[in-house]
Chain A
């Protein structure tokens, strides 16, 4: 257990295979033990990265000086390297940190539902292995393979309980994710044709020196493909049915982590090899992000079903991530804002889907109107929903507040006033859809006809609460995360 980089990838693959061998529905304890060890490994890696010096994370220099692992001992460009810097460490911590409570939640949530859970554990193992491999990759083709692992596992998890609506949503999701990966792969092929290598470290100076037309096309294709996978407006069409239709633990994994993986890759490429090409089009993702914030929030306010409300909120919150691209500068503020938003939204959205999962579990219904009077029955769950809402609105002292604060600071430093207006109105709109649910739950008296609450499960409620509390408390430890984002070993 000496090398966290290799074991963060191997371990989930081992327990995923082990869970498959144990048989349908088995392997929950194996998975939870595995993720606990992975969390420890991620902390060990973060400590190692944090102990090094500081430089703007994600910059061209940072990939070159990060902690490395040359697979096979060959070294890039002949072999494949793994690399970890501050941004990698934060993403790995977030992934394992969200996964552990969610897997405990899933174990309770799926108890007794043998159909949905048959292959949940091995699929989750492959999903987590895909994340860890993606965050650690430093090779464009290797990144493609990890994208496929993440995408295919996510599609399988959406489809697994097998109702017609879910299969339809999964199929839509499959087409979106395949087109996205296909565009990315075409880009990789063009780049290999132009330079003869796919190692990011080797490529970066080459692209800086000379970028023929084929490389510009490649960059555009890869960016578009990854935007489709991240569900940036107007490519968000596949997200609400897929995230809103899946079982709650799956929705939580999808919204908290899966869309962040492709965003991470955009950020990595944008600040790395494609930096010289990207400046000219930086306003495009920011405009689309603004549209996503407004449209996603509006749809969340109008949503009838509880899970659709949370899914549309994901569309809106993803918008903030894309506001950072025109602001990326030497001061590193925008990058810190992006990293903070990924962490805060990851924890808050996992908490919100978990809380909504408990509400649906207990009330047996999935409409916003059906949670009327639920507060007295499930105070912990509603408190969790409220705390997660605090983060989404961006109220202090939550992680979401810190993210938006940094973002506004970066926007003001560059005189982008319109962006401040978008950020603030996005927070107000978030308050509207969060309070829509809380008002129902706290103030309204339940309709007698519907007043049949099932027994709630304390473990489920407390896991949702733990995630929500983490999303708020992460704001208090924000400076450590910001420092880690800038750390390069």
Chain B
């Protein structure tokens, strides 16, 4: 019975994949060319890189909600993680520790650079935050950082701060007539403010998804 079931599943999945591929080859060229609209409005977006412009300005509302989803994921992890926890990881190899001590300052530097580079080339808060989160995980694995228990007030501000800054900017810009309507002259500064706050919070959230469970 079981091999037959597997075979049916495999056949169905392959047929669906073939159908998808065939359908995609038959696609006509898209009617709406959004890339052209993005290029036309780049000089009013407050940043020089189209990806950052789409993420933080043109479709900034999606990004705002996505940060909400990440914070929410952390809340779910906190809600289900056991209350009593052991602190610290076991093995502390001297070689790993030395390597971590060398790597982590460089990772902090790299995160700062990625944040800054996001204004005019690929990069930005998500990438920088991922590097920060990785640095925290490395410190934990090397035994230099204990696992996290219930978050303290300071850590809670760190986790939610980026989202709160983004939310506050979005609400404040309602005064301009619409949610997240940056005035073109201040757009660059506001986007940098949001990205800087997001970098810290995303780093902590990504680290938290690992460290609250370990």
Do A and B come together as binding partners?
Answer: yes
Chain A residues close to B by CB (< 8 Å): 2-3, 6, 10, 13-14, 17, 20-21, 23-24, 69-74, 77-80, 115, 118-119, 122-123, 126, 129, 133, 141-142, 145-146, 148-149, 152-153, 155-156, 159-160, 162, 167, 170, 190, 192-197, 202, 206, 210, 212-214, 217
Counting contact residues on chain B (CB < 8 A from A), the size range is 35 or more
Q: Which of B23, B65, B72 has the most CB of A within 10 A?
A: B72
Query: Knowing that A17-B167, A71-B180, A162-B82 are A-B contacts, what are 14 other residue pairs whose CB atoms are under 8 Å apart, sorted by A's residue number?
Result: A17-B163, A20-B71, A21-B156, A72-B57, A79-B59, A115-B83, A145-B69, A155-B76, A156-B76, A195-B30, A196-B34, A197-B34, A214-B27, A217-B20
The verdict on A149 contacting B68 (CB below 8 Å), with A17-B167, A74-B58, A214-B23 known, is yes
Tell whether, in the assembled complex, residue B34 and residue A73 are in contact, meaning their CB atoms are under 8 Å apart.
no
Tell whether, in the assembled complex, residue B32 and residue A195 are in contact, meaning their CB atoms are under 8 Å apart.
yes
Tell whether, in the assembled complex, residue B61 and residue A80 are in contact, meaning their CB atoms are under 8 Å apart.
yes
A74 CB contacts on chain B under 8 angstroms = 41, 58
Tell whether, in the assembled complex, residue B156 and residue A23 are in contact, meaning their CB atoms are under 8 Å apart.
yes
CA gap between A133 and B167 in the complex, in Å: 14
CA gap between A153 and B73 in the complex, in Å: 8
CA gap between A159 and B72 in the complex, in Å: 13
A-B contacts, 29 listed (Cβ < 8 Å):
A3-B174, A6-B174, A10-B167, A20-B75, A24-B150, A69-B179, A73-B176, A119-B79, A122-B75, A126-B68, A142-B61, A142-B65, A149-B68, A153-B76, A156-B72, A159-B80, A160-B79, A170-B80, A190-B23, A192-B30, A194-B27, A195-B32, A196-B32, A196-B34, A206-B32, A212-B23, A212-B26, A213-B23, A217-B19
CA gap between A192 and B32 in the complex, in Å: 9
A149 interface neighbour in B33, B72, B176, Cβ under 8 Å: B72
CB-CB nearest in chain A for B159: A20
The verdict on A72 contacting B62 (CB below 8 Å), with A10-B171, A17-B163, A212-B23 known, is no
B75 CB contacts on chain A under 8 angstroms = 20, 119, 122-123, 126, 156
Which residues 1-60 of B sit at the A interface, judged by CB distance below 8 A?
A: 19-20, 22-24, 26-28, 30-34, 37-38, 41, 57-60
Tell whether, in the assembled complex, residue A21 and residue B160 are in contact, meaning their CB atoms are under 8 Å apart.
yes
CA gap between A159 and B77 in the complex, in Å: 10
A72 CB contacts on chain B under 8 angstroms = 57-58, 60-61, 178-182
Q: Report if B94 contacts A (CB, 8 A).
A: no
CA gap between A129 and B167 in the complex, in Å: 13
A118 CB contacts on chain B under 8 angstroms = 78-79
Chain B residues close to A by CB (< 8 Å): 19-20, 22-24, 26-28, 30-34, 37-38, 41, 57-62, 65-66, 68-69, 71-73, 75-76, 78-80, 82-83, 150, 153, 156-157, 159-160, 163-164, 167, 170-171, 174, 176-182
- Main DSSP-derived SS at the A contact region: helix
CB distance from A98 to the nearest CB of B (A): 21
CB distance from B33 to the nearest CB of A (A): 6
Tell whether, in the assembled complex, residue B65 and residue A73 are in contact, meaning their CB atoms are under 8 Å apart.
no
The verdict on A14 contacting B167 (CB below 8 Å), with A21-B160, A123-B72 known, is yes
Q: Which of B75, B78, B177 has the most CB of A within 10 A?
A: B75
CB distance from A281 to the nearest CB of B (A): 17
The verdict on A78 contacting B58 (CB below 8 Å), with A72-B178, A195-B30 known, is yes
Tell whether, in the assembled complex, residue A196 and residue B58 are in contact, meaning their CB atoms are under 8 Å apart.
no
Q: Which of A23, A72, A153, A206 has the most CB of B within 10 A?
A: A72
The verdict on A13 contacting B68 (CB below 8 Å), with A78-B37, A123-B75 known, is yes
**Shortest beta-carbon contacts, A-B, top 7:** A196-B30, A156-B76, A196-B32, A214-B23, A73-B181, A197-B32, A119-B79
CB-CB nearest in chain B for A6: B179
Tell whether, in the assembled complex, residue B178 and residue A73 are in contact, meaning their CB atoms are under 8 Å apart.
yes
CA gap between A79 and B79 in the complex, in Å: 35
CB-CB nearest in chain A for B76: A156
CB-CB nearest in chain B for A148: B69
Tell whether, in the assembled complex, residue B153 and residue A196 are in contact, meaning their CB atoms are under 8 Å apart.
no
CA gap between A213 and B22 in the complex, in Å: 9
B153 CB contacts on chain A under 8 angstroms = 21, 23
CA gap between A468 and B174 in the complex, in Å: 38
A202 CB contacts on chain B under 8 angstroms = 32
Tell whether, in the assembled complex, residue B61 and residue A71 are in contact, meaning their CB atoms are under 8 Å apart.
yes
Tell whether, in the assembled complex, residue B178 and residue A70 are in contact, meaning their CB atoms are under 8 Å apart.
yes
CA gap between A17 and B166 in the complex, in Å: 12
A212 CB contacts on chain B under 8 angstroms = 23, 26-28
B32 CB contacts on chain A under 8 angstroms = 77, 195-197, 202, 206
CB distance from A20 to the nearest CB of B (A): 6
CB distance from B73 to the nearest CB of A (A): 6
CB-CB nearest in chain A for B24: A214
CB-CB nearest in chain B for A170: B80
CA gap between A106 and B167 in the complex, in Å: 27
CB distance from A427 to the nearest CB of B (A): 38
CA gap between A228 and B76 in the complex, in Å: 22
Q: Which of B33, B71, B79, B176 has the most CB of A within 10 A?
A: B79
Tell whether, in the assembled complex, residue B160 and residue A20 are in contact, meaning their CB atoms are under 8 Å apart.
yes
CB distance from B209 to the nearest CB of A (A): 13
The verdict on A79 contacting B58 (CB below 8 Å), with A6-B174, A20-B160, A70-B178 known, is yes
CB distance from A433 to the nearest CB of B (A): 32
